[in-house]
Amino acid sequence: MRRVIDLIQEIGTIMYVGGILSHIIIGTNFGHLDPQTAYTVAMYKEISAYILILPGLGLKIVSDIFLYYSYEVKPNWLKVKFVLIAFLSINAFVFLVPMMPELVALAKESVEAGELTQAFLDRSYIEGLIGMSNAIPLVLEILLGSLRPRLFKER
């Protein structure tokens, strides 16, 4: 059973991290060239969030819950992993996902204005900062799930 849970966890991680990496790459390389490109990039980021990031995060959460119940004595690495995945989930569902349609609308306004609006640039900057705040928790969450180290004087 744990092998199935681990496989689901890996698929979720690939989807989640792959979606995030695609957001970073496309956003930094093409996101602010011109209004039409910014609009296309914003639409891509919104769609990929719904297709890759959220389902990947969902798979990670579901597999973590099953993993939690598969242990009779809950290891500390798993408890810390839950805290980190909670942080990532809050960031995703409270901040980033609601921001995606807003960025698309602001990019569309930029197309109509003929130049990138300050509102779009400001919101893109905030989205980038919130996205960057995911980096350390995400790396730690992946490492804990992969290495499963003993933490805090576990026996």
Domain-embedded: residue 155: no
Contact 111, 36 (CB under 8 A): yes
Among 86, 50, 93, residue whose Cα is nearest residue 68: 86
pLDDT at 15 over 80: yes
pLDDT of 155 reads 64
What residue numbers bound the domain in which 49 lies? 2-147
Mean pLDDT of 61-73: 93
Q: Is residue 86 part of a domain?
A: yes
Q: What is the mean pLDDT of residues 13-17?
A: 95
In b/e form, how buried is each residue of 46-55, taking b as 16+ CB within 10 angstroms? bebbeebbbb
CA atoms within 13 A on the CB side of 73: 5
Residues 51-58: what's their mean pLDDT? 96
Note the pLDDT tens digit of each residue in 107-150. 999 999 999 999 999 999 999 999 999 999 999 999 998 898 98
CA 10, 58, 144, 90 dihedral sign is positive
Closest CA to 144 of 103, 87, 91: 87
Does residue 113 lie in a domain region? yes
**How far lies 92's CA from each of 15, 20, 72, 154, in Å?**
14, 11, 30, 31
**Residue 152 included in any domain:** no
Q: How many domains does the chain have?
A: 1
Residue type at 103?
L
With respect to residue 154, please indicate whether it lies within any of the assigned structural domains. no
- Residue 98, classified by CB atoms within 10 Å of its CB into exposed (0-12), middle (13-18) or buried (19+), is exposed
pTM (2 d.p.): 0.90
How would you class 114 by CB atoms within 10 Å of its CB: exposed for 0-12, middle for 13-18, buried for 19 or more? exposed
* Both tokens assigned to 17: 């991290």
Tokens of 53: 């990031």
Mean pLDDT value across residues 6-21: 94
Query: Is residue 103 in a domain?
Result: yes
